[in-house]
Structure 1
Amino acid sequence: MNTLLLSLLAFVALAAAEELTVPHNETNGGCSTCGGSAYVDIASACSRYSGWSQSCCQCIAKHESSGNSHACNKNTNGSTDVGLWQVNSMNWASCNGGNPPCDVSSNLQCAIKVFQWGHNTWKLWSTCGGCGCCGSK
């Protein structure tokens, strides 16, 4: 009986440890494309473009990267999302010469293009629903 209890406790501890080490965007999601962390003021970054809702932009950036302009996430389909707005690697050729847009300025330019490709909405970001911004500017 004690062996069963110890085994169960060990399993729970292992599961908890694995859960704590699962990568998330704000902790660079298991990739080092942009290297490390560089937290920025989200409101200031969003205000660089007046063509979108500032509240939606801030919510999207908060949910995508927690303000880490070097956030990086490897996706299950093999693509990579980087930067404050987590621009996907499938878009880098069209917005940053094929290079990962790791700095705020290049990530912003890519985010603006993706926003425009979505008919000036946030619908191309998976976090738009949680922000209530899928059909919003």
Structure 2
Amino acid sequence: MSLSALLFSLLIIGYCSASKCGSNCPSNKCPSCPCGTTTNFQDIATWCAKFSDWDQACCRCIVKEESNGNANAAYYNSAKLGFDVGLWQINEYWNWKTCSGGKAPCDPKINLECAKKVWREAGKSFRRWSTAAKCGCS
């Protein structure tokens, strides 16, 4: 195989693997795309402001760290724990059954309702989010 053919092959392989789920699965470890392959960037402050009970700065930081404002963002944890999806990266194993009827809460409105439920269940705190400490919100 010529060097140019090898480089072309590597380029194609890199493109194909990087394009799994579009930009919705930055880790590129998602076995499927629960929120599709098209990004859906939202204004983080607008969505956080839809619930006045939580600390707005913490909410904005967590959504920024979790999804960067992409309502279709997905992260695959493991076969047992499944996916985290949406603006607040709601976990499949722990939350989808109780907050979104077992379906991926990709819709920002549903994701918000799930996030509010998780926040309340955590004693009105963001401690259930892995990014809470980084944001100073644990």
Query: Could you tell me the TM-score, scaled by structure 2's length?
Result: 0.77
Asked if residue 101 in structure 1 is aligned to residue 88 in structure 2, the reply is no
1:32 aligns with 2:23: no
Greater RCO between the two (CA within 8 Å, min separation 6)? 1
1:92-116: CA deviations, max 9, x gaps? Answer: 1111111111011000000000001
Q: Structure 1 stretches of 5 or more lacking a match? A: 1-16
Provide, for residues 17-66 of structure 1, a one-character-per-residue CA deviation record: whole Å limited to 9, x for no partner: 7xxx5x9xx93223410012100000000000011000000000000000
* Equivalent residue number for residue 81 of structure 1: 84
Point out where structure 2 has 5 or more consecutive residues left out of the alignment.
1-13
Return structure 1 stretches of 4+ with deviation > 2 angstroms.
26-31
Paired positions, count: 119
Structure 1 vs Structure 2: percent identity of aligned residues? 43
The structure having more radius of gyration, on CA atoms, is 1
Instruction: Give distance in 2, aligned partners of 1:113 and 1:27.
Output: 27
Q: Which amino acid aligns with 1:105?
A: K
Could you say what secondary structure the match of 2:61 adopts? Answer: helix
AA at the equivalent of 2:67: S
Question: What is the distance in 2 between the residues matched to 1:88 and 1:70?
Answer: 13
